[in-house]
């Protein structure tokens, strides 16, 4: 007969229960395996994160590479041509013509015997004045300097008249303006407005 314990349970039954409980407990290896196993949805999430990190890193490196290449190219500022044609003397009546103010920053002025070109730059701080037809004067919007139709200053802080660009007639009778050459009238100095190239006789 099988031996019984104090509680009345057979000893063999107790040992069998302990063996079954131990067998039911997962081993350490199986726990680790389970911890590192990922479900399909988790794998997709990991792939998405990796793809995002890859795109972000690639974009960052590409941006830095393009910034590096930028140093090898000069920074060019495109300016209007300094020498250009503005038509023939017969295209202009007596007075101030403003058609080239925006494109070339000049005014073509014709008097009874001369045609000359005023460079549209205030001699105070370099702003571009406006031609006020109703007042027959140039008025600087920055600090109020005023000039007569020939560009001679008479009010405001401007220290001297506006400069005049070089003008000449080419072989076809066209007026050629060169804003790289400017004629000035400064206090205490002989005016350059009567020099050759400062005007055309009409």
Model confidence over 35-90: pLDDT tens digits? 556 566 766 777 787 888 888 888 888 888 888 877 776 665 556 688 999 999 99
Residues 124 and 163 in one domain: yes
Task: Domain count for the chain, please give it.
Answer: 2
Please answer whether residues 182 and 119 qualify as being in contact, where contact means their C-beta atoms are separated by less than 8 angstroms: yes
pTM equals 0.62
Domain containing residue 57:
26-77
202 pairs with which residues across the strands?
Answer: none
- At 160 the pLDDT is 97
Out of 77, 93, 120, pick the residue that ends a domain: 77
- Residue 147 falls inside a structural domain: yes
Residues 40 and 111 in one domain: no
183 pairs with which residues across the strands?
Answer: 164
56 pairs with which residues across the strands?
Answer: none
Out of 58, 77, 96, pick the residue that ends a domain: 77
3-state secondary structure of 136: coil
Residues 176 and 196 in one domain: yes
């Amino acid at each position: 007969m099988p031996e019984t314990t104090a509680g009345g349970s057979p000893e063999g039954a107790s040992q069998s229960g302990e063996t079954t409980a131990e067998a039911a407990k997962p081993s350490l290896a199986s726990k680790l395996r389970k911890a590192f196993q990922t479900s399909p949805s988790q794998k997709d999430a990991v792939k998405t994160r990796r793809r995002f990190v890859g795109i972000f890193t690639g974009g960052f490196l590409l941006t830095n590479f393009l910034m590096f290449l930028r140093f090898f190219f000069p920074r060019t500022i495109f300016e209007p041509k300094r020498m250009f044609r503005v038509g023939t003397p017969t295209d202009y009546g007596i007075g101030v013509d403003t058609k080239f103010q925006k494109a070339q920053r000049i005014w073509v002025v014709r008097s009874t015997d001369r045609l000359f070109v005023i460079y549209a730059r205030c001699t105070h701080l370099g702003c571009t004045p406006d031609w006020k037809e109703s007042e027959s004067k140039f008025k600087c919007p920055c600090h109020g300097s005023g000039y007569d139709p020939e560009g001679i200053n008479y009010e405001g802080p401007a220290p001297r008249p506006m400069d005049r660009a070089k003008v000449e007639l080419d072989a076809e009778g066209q007026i050629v303006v060169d804003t790289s050459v400017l004629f000035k009238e400064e206090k205490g100095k002989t005016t350059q407005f009567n020099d050759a190239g400062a005007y055309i006789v009409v």
